[in-house]
Amino acid sequence: MTLAALRGRFGSLADAPATFLLAGARVIDPSDGTDEVRDLAVVAGRIADPRRLPDGAPRVDATGLLAVPGFCDLHTHLREPGGEGAETVASGARAAAHGGFTTICAMPNTTPPLDDARAVAKVSGAGRVAAARVRVIGSVTAGRDGTVLADLAALREAGVIAVSDDGATVADGEVARLAFERCADLGLLLVEHCEDPLLADGGVMRSGATATRLGLRGWAPEAELAVVRRDLELAADTGARLHLTHLSCAASLDAIRAARARGVDVTCDVTPHHLSLTDAWVDGGRRFAWEAPGDIDASLAYDGHCRVNPPLPARDDALALLAGLADGTVDAIATDHAPHGPQRKLVPFDEAAPGLVGLETALSLGLAAVAAGMVALPVLIGALSTSPARIVGEERALGTGATADLAVIDPAATWTVAADRLASRSANTPLIGRELPGVVRLTVADGRVTWNDGLLPLR
């Protein structure tokens, strides 16, 4: 059944709190190390003792299902204001709920950018009645032009949970230092897109043999690493909290490990596509990073849906990112959900807008990595839920008394990615037509049912 036929299965944060029982679910709660089969009750929007379930409340046989904390995406492009044809706060939140996310962090590179309190208030206001919490990340610089700091105090007062010039690095060293100092003074998290524009030199895919063979301008890993190293030093000097987003190369993780060893306060995330896809996809390959390289389908080469920024990594880097997730160097998986209309993707590769939609495929790509033995299931769940939530000051737990923020997953089910099965307004992903594991059957955000794939009685 297509998603269009299931519109009534979405709820919102404005709905009444939920009450139901999941009987015999496998409960994985990274907040306290829980991994056990048990009953889980929600009463009036809170996790409760199953014995307190009211008479007549829905009881679901959850045998074989996973109950996990709701996911938190640290990097979501909602396109509102200015790009509502590709996504809105409402549609992006529905895509989030469909993928098991209960919080999404809206990035500021909109048109105009989220660089003042009024713009932040508009997005936050739209999020109050959406299918997921919408937390706002404000711009570091006015207009995101990298030259003058935005009014960071006013942004903090407006409720932003971090600041970033995502889509670009704060390239000027003096402005970057001022930003770190100001964020340290205000207690604001600084989220950095690591890309030295001079070293990137207009590259559109990862540099290397594949880029050379395809005749595409390469983007060297040094473009990322240079900013990672600079920012780690600035964080050490100023005491600012630093979060490095959508990292794509092994050397960046090595630099973070060394910085943490000397006490630098830094966290980082990696996207599902940088963990699972490689630069071979630009050449027409369709194997995941953990699979042995296979045949190339020339008809799939130069697919604009494979253009992302930072570019898809070499296989060795993708495997190193997976290892960093497994060993805890990578704190979180963030989707970098970047919706675009067809007109921005069905063009020559080097003209395609970078980015792909990821809220609805993130879990499935992670479960594919689990099935391949690349990461343990509880580690995957923690990287999608408790760890990113902690970075932005939210709690996630499934213990008695906690606000119900959870996703219920059928890990044995599969689904085929198709445009009409996505809640996002856009379908720009090279995964269209791919069968993936894992189906989210229920999402509960702040105690409200925001996605219900028939698991509970429909309203």
Give the helix, strand, coil percentages of the chain, each rounded to 5: 35, 20, 45
Plot region of 280 (φ>0 → left; ψ -120 to 50 → alpha; else → beta) = alpha
At 244, give phi and psi (nearest 5°): -100, 120
Core vs surface per residue 345-372: b (16+ CB within 10 A) or e: beeebeebbbbbbbbbbbbbbbbbbbee
CA 120, distance to chain mean position in Å, is: 20
Rounded to a whole number of angstroms, the distance between the first and last alpha carbons of the chain is 19
Q: State whether residue 162 is helix, strand or coil.
A: strand
Reply yes or no: is the peptide bond before residue 430 cis, omega within 30 of 0: no
Residue written as token pair 């050490």: 236
Are residues 32 and 398 in contact, defined by beta-carbon separation less than 8 angstroms? no
Greatest alpha-carbon span in the chain: 67
Query: Where is 454: in which H helix or E strand?
Result: none
Half-sphere exposure at residue 365, Cβ-oriented, CA atoms within 13 angstroms:
28
Q: Which of 29, 115, 331, 336 is catalytic?
A: 336
383-417 burial, b for 16+ CB within 10 Å, e for fewer?
bbbbbbbbbbebebbbeeebbbbbbbbbbeeebeb
| 32 is an active site residue | no
Tokens linked to 85: 């044809």
Dihedral of CA 303/305/309/310: which sign?
negative
How open is the CA angle 329-167-309, to the nearest 5 degrees? 65
Q: How far is CA 450 from CA 25, 29, 62, in A?
A: 19, 20, 18
CA atoms of 317 and 304, how far apart (whole Å): 21
User: One-letter amino acid identity for 181?
Assistant: E
> In a 3-state reduction of DSSP, which class is residue 101?
strand
CB atoms within 10 A of CB 434: 17
Residue numbers annotated as active site: 336
